[in-house]
Structure 1
Amino acid sequence: MPEPRIDRRSALLAGAGLMGAGLLRPGSGLPGFGLTGSGGAARAQGAPPAEAGIYGPDDPQARRGGVLTVAIANEPPNLDPFHQAGDARTAITVLMYQGLMYEDASGVAKPLLAESMAVSEDGLAYTFALRRGVRFHNGQPMTAADVKYSYDYVRDPANGSPGAADFGAIRAIETPDDHTVVIRLSEPNASLPMTLTNRFGCVIPRDTFANSQARSRLSQQSVGTGPFMLQEFRPQSHIRMARFPNYWRQGQPYLDGVLFSVQPNAASVLVALRSRRVDLALLARPQDAEQLQGQPGLSITSALSLRQCSLDLDCNHAQLKDVRVRQAIALSIDKKAVMQAAISGKGQVLGTIPAAMQESWGAPLDSLPYQKTDPARAKALLAEAGLGDGFALDLVSIIGFEWMDPAAVTIAQQLSAVGIRLNIQRVELGVWLNAFRTRNMRFTFNDWGTQPDPHSLYYRHFHSAPRGADFRNWNNAEADRLMDAGMASADPAARKQAYLGLQRVMDETVPTIMLYSPDLVTVSQQRVRNYVQHPTGWWFGLAKAWIAT
């Protein structure tokens, strides 16, 4: 049977994970989305098919009212969606800020603040028709000028956004009218729609940062378009959000508010769940679910995640400059034993990609020679590097990330067997983030989630500057070539081959060691309805959750 013909535009959309996402050609039009209801305890009406799946499934039984309390053990340093890179921030700010697109759990980028999207035949122009009737939390209506301002701001390296490199292929942003945005690229980028989602792709009112106090104020008052707006951020205590009454999707959110309650550790999260002081928690230690089995009134769900617990190796630091040392470290680590020590095995050992992406994009582990444990080969590599007598190395872990403590002990034992003596240093998250931003990572644990797209996973983190941030000082020309090919390709098969090649280079040169993806274990009280956990671990699902009374 002959292969079906796919035109340039369709191939590009498929490569970006956009087939079937309700995206249209220019001028084809798309009816406005929305829910209708009479407020109070009115039942929600069904959503049009094109918007189904945004933030999770719709529930025809949903009712309005109530404040839902969520336990979190890792508090963000601030709530600035442009300058703060940590997942602890992103997980929460996705409820307050929105981009033109939404990162569906399946890997599809769906229209969000955009109503439709069309791509030129050469892949160099993306035209977005904006959703009508969208307002910011300050009451101002959203226009194309706000979108242009937001994306021009984040892509300007002078403004210091960690997401600047994500927007590096953008040549210009045009606004032919108040409801149309045209993004012109210097080269094709199949992942642009995923870039315009929630991590750094949010839209804020134009000239927000003209005020010198704007950045600090983002931890006091939100200026996004999301379903919830910030009421109060009290560090080491709580983050309180209220329902945004002028949210563009009528009838949502159903909750009157969300209270994120900061807990000192994983044990206190369990106590809060048992005592019903909190309604919902994503367990930092998935094995803790065993302590809650059989607890009346609690529901426990588990799923694969887009999160990875990893070790990052700064390729410009001390002995790590030598690739043979990095290879020796990789061959010395028994990932399964580390995962057992850290989370009682409640996860999936990784190669070079998070668990939820392995089937679609991952290289088979048995094809990657440095994903096995081989202490004898590790010792030989250290001897070749002139380090046969061993050496000392600092391992940095982050206070509050409880899996890191037992993992550090296990890895120290494993590396000592080949002569590497680890000194474990525990630092606060803010200190670690500063080292991350300034590319002074050294040898460190990391814990991060990705959008469900390989470009989003790899490019900003691993591509050399100035196009990427190259946080690990890897500076690998072959990896750059493969990431550029994966970004530009309109052919899904060719795109996958580029990322498979990249993973082989990563395996060979070891800028990072992905240890495991922990299972996403969510625990909720019985009164919580229609909450679905996004595989990133971010709290998207609260936009459609409701409380039964």
Structure 2
Amino acid sequence: MPLSTPRLTIDRRTALLAGAGLLGGGLALPARGQDGGAEAVYGPDDPQARRGGTLTVAIANEPPNLDPFHQAGDARTAITVLMYQGLMFEDASGVAKPLLAESMAVSDDGLTYTFTLRRGVRFHTGRTMTSADVKYSYDYVRNPANGSPGALDFGTIAEIGAPDDHTVVVRLSEPNASLPMTLTNRFGGVVPVDTFATPQARARLSQQSVGTGPFMLQEFRPQSHIRMARFPNYWRQGQPYLDGVLFSVQPNAASVLVALRSRRVDLALLARPQDAEQLQGQAGLNITSASSLRQCSLDLDGNHAQLKDPRVRQAIALAVDKDAVMQASISGKGKVLGTIPAAMQESWGAPISALPNQKPDMARAKALLAEAGLPDGFTMDLISIIGFEWMDPAGVTLAQQLAPLGIRLNIQRVELGVWLNAYRSRNMRFTFNDWGTQPDPHILYYRHFHSQPRGADFRNWNNAEGDRLLDAGMATADPARRKEIYVEFQKVVDASVPTVMLFSPDLVSVAQQRVRNYAQHPTGWWFGLAKAWIAA
């Protein structure tokens, strides 16, 4: 049973200049190959691939719904990327590559992006995609009245034009070096005009997909499964190879292992990477491990109780032994973080040595609490999410670590839907979080940490210096200067502690031997199923 560990590295200069169309004014990311560069997305092509079969995937965290515009959770995004596509694709290397766009050009001032659309693209509804659909989709997302969590990601768009059926012109109010990555798959999917024209439209998206992706929704039975079928009119001729995909909802991590051993499922991404040890010696299984863009973190709501005082937040950060939390949570099968996910540390991360609040210092923590007028500590609820199994041992460990400060934790476990409602309403309190990002620092930080109205500031941080740096990072094209800005931003995060990024768990996927050509994307999303196939 082989165990391979591919290394993900993100070349900042290539990612920024190519992804933002700044390789010199004019055409960037042109079409290549017979499918306009499509061979570069979703993973490698396989000339030996065969058509047929349904692949069963075990998932332990079920999405509340399958609405690609209004549901923010990674549990949704991981699955809907197979049904919905954006103009661009978030390549694992950090480069935004053409997907529904065939090519992209950018003006010399960086304010106008012109996209030439791929021809012959069909929606699952049977309609042919035109520029009017792209304009409708992105105008819908960027309108705050429509309630999409992605509205703020599109906030620099001033106008979208559709001069002909195959051209889309996006005009910005200010430079945004991350626009191409914004027009990818988390909230950048394209749907037909008037998709949301009726009050029932959002609910119907959990019954019928309307995207352009390689698979279309057949059935969503909550607490049981999500079934997809091959889209016969998919624009990439001959793909996907699979007739269908069945996402089988499992009650916990243990049941995922049982399903793999019994061959009831073909593929799983282990929520607990340490569980791979239990599969050692199991014939017929292939295990792959890689660095991820996911972070397991602790969020501190700046409007909540004692957390309003930055000295309290600093004290908590200084009491946390991240290595011990990671050991308890995932048996050390990951990487301790500073202020950025593991797969982005080399390209965008501030050196850990430059972040003084990232290592335990109990004496300083006690002094800060005393300075805040809380020498005897206090009692506080810690929120964890049911189904995210790392959070249970992490909560116990964190309670032990904060006890010497006199901070007493009451652990409250809530359903994902309840947690997401609190997240959207900016009532996060003191909570564990588990989220992934596209490989771009603007996408990672801006919406989460910039104050309103330009950002959502979910943690009620409201930090003026952080805002200034995030605005500068968005507007800056030079890769070296851009990194300097984001390093300075991470120092502000470290000093003020709106969040404590704990660790990135290793991304461990397990597949039966009959599964071929599956490439695991570092987001943890299921892109690779578009090119996977089943051997006889």
CA–CA separation in structure 2 for the residues paired with 1:140 and 1:428: 38
Partner of 2:88: 101
Give CA deviations for 1:345-372 in whole Å, capped at 9, x if unaligned: 0000000000000000001111100001
Letter of the structure 1 residue corresponding to residue 26 of structure 2: R
Give the deviation of 1:531 after TM superposition: 0.4
Aligned to 1:150: 137
**Is 1:24–1:116's contact at 8 Å kept on the other side of the alignment?**
no
What corresponds to 1:441 in structure 2? 428
Matches of 1:258 and 1:27 in 2, distance apart?
35
Residue in structure 2 matched with residue 8 of structure 1 by the alignment: none
- Counterparts in 2 of 1:8-47, with a 5 A limit? 15=16, 17-18=18-19, 25=26, 30=31, 33-34=34-35
Contact 1:303 1:521 in 2 (8 A): yes
Residue number among 45, 70, 74 corresponding to 2:61 in the alignment: 74
**Corresponding residue of 1:424:** 411
Uncovered stretches (5+) of structure 2, i.e. residues with no partner: 1-11
1:388 to 361, 375, 399: 375
Following superposition of structure 1 onto structure 2, how do residues 107-186 of structure 1 map, counting pairs within 5 Å?
107-186=94-173
Within-5 A mapping of 1:165-314? 165-314=152-301
Deviations 1:113-167 (A, max 9, x none): 0000000000000000000000000000000000000000000100000110000
- Alpha-carbon distance in structure 2 between the residues aligned to 1:52 and 1:500: 34
Q: Which letter does structure 1 place at the counterpart of 2:311? A: R
Question: Match of 1:7?
Answer: none
Residue in structure 2 matched with residue 490 of structure 1 by the alignment = 477
Moved segments of 4+, more than 6 Å: 19-24
Aligned partner letter, 2:134: V
Task: Report the Cα offset of residue 14 of structure 1.
Answer: 5.7
| Map 1:372-387 → 2, pairs under 5 A | 372-387=359-374
User: What residue is the counterpart of 1:44 in the other structure?
Assistant: none
Q: Residue 471 of structure 1 corresponds to which residue in structure 2? A: 458
Alignment of 1:535 onto 2:536: no
Task: Give the secondary-structure state (helix, strand or coil) at the position aligned to 1:52.
Answer: helix
RMSD after superposition: 1.7
- Per the TM alignment, residue 417 of structure 1 is displaced from its structure 2 partner at its CA by 1.2
Is the alpha carbon distance of 1:499 and 1:65 closer, same or farther for their aligned partners in structure 2, counting shifts above 3 Å? same
How many Å separate the matches in 2 of 1:32 and 1:133? 17
SS of the aligned residue for 2:405 comes to coil
- 1:319 aligned residue (292, 299, 306): 306
Structure 2 residue identity aligned to 1:15: L
The alignment's TM-score, normalised by the length of structure 1, stands at 0.93
- What is the correspondence of 1:498-537 to structure 2 with a 5 Å cutoff? 498-537=485-524
**CA apart distance, 1:32:** 7.5
Alignment-mate amino acid for residue 108 of structure 2: E
Residue 233 of structure 1 aligns with an amino acid whose one-letter code is F
Structure 1 position 436, deviation (Å): 0.2
Q: Does structure 1 retain, via aligned residues, the 8 Å contact 2:21–2:104?
A: no
1:70 partner amino acid: V
Aligned to 1:88: 75
Residue identity opposite 2:300 in structure 1? L
The residue aligned with 2:344 is 357
Which amino acid in 2 is paired with 1:294?
Answer: G
Residue identity matched to 2:81 = V
Cα separation, 2, equivalents of 1:241 and 1:228: 6
Q: 1:25 offset after TM fit, Å? A: 3.3
Cα distance, 1:23–1:60 mapped onto 2, change above 3 Å: farther
Look up the equivalent residue of 1:443 and give its one-letter code: F
Residue identity opposite 2:340 in structure 1: I
TM-score by length of 2: 0.96
Q: Compute the displacement of 1:31 (Å).
A: 6.5
Given that 1:303 and 1:519 are in contact with CA atoms closer than 8 Å, whether structure 2 keeps it comes out as yes
CA distance in 2, matches of 1:344, 1:376: 27
Contact 1:12–1:490 under 8 Å retained in 2:
no
Q: Distance in 2 between matches of 1:194 and 1:379?
A: 43
Shift of 1:501: 0.5
Q: Where in structure 1 are there 5+ consecutive unaligned residues?
A: 1-10, 35-47
In 2, Cα distance between equivalents of 1:370 and 1:430: 32
Shift of 1:389: 1.2
Residue identity in the other structure for 1:521: V
Identify the match of residue 445 of structure 2 among 440, 444, 458. 458
- Do the aligned partners of 1:16 and 1:193 also contact (CA within 8 Å) in 2? no
- Residue number in structure 1 paired with 2:5: none
- Alignment check: 8 A CA contact 1:528 1:545 kept: yes
Shift of 1:23: 11
Contact 2:157 2:173 in 1 (8 A): yes
| CA spacing shift, 1:67–1:192, aligned 2, 3 Å | same
Offset, 1:78: 0.1
SS in 2 for 1:533: coil
Matched, 1:546 2:533: yes
DSSP-derived class of the 1:56 partner:
coil
SS at match of 1:209: coil
Distance 1:17 1:502 in 2: 24
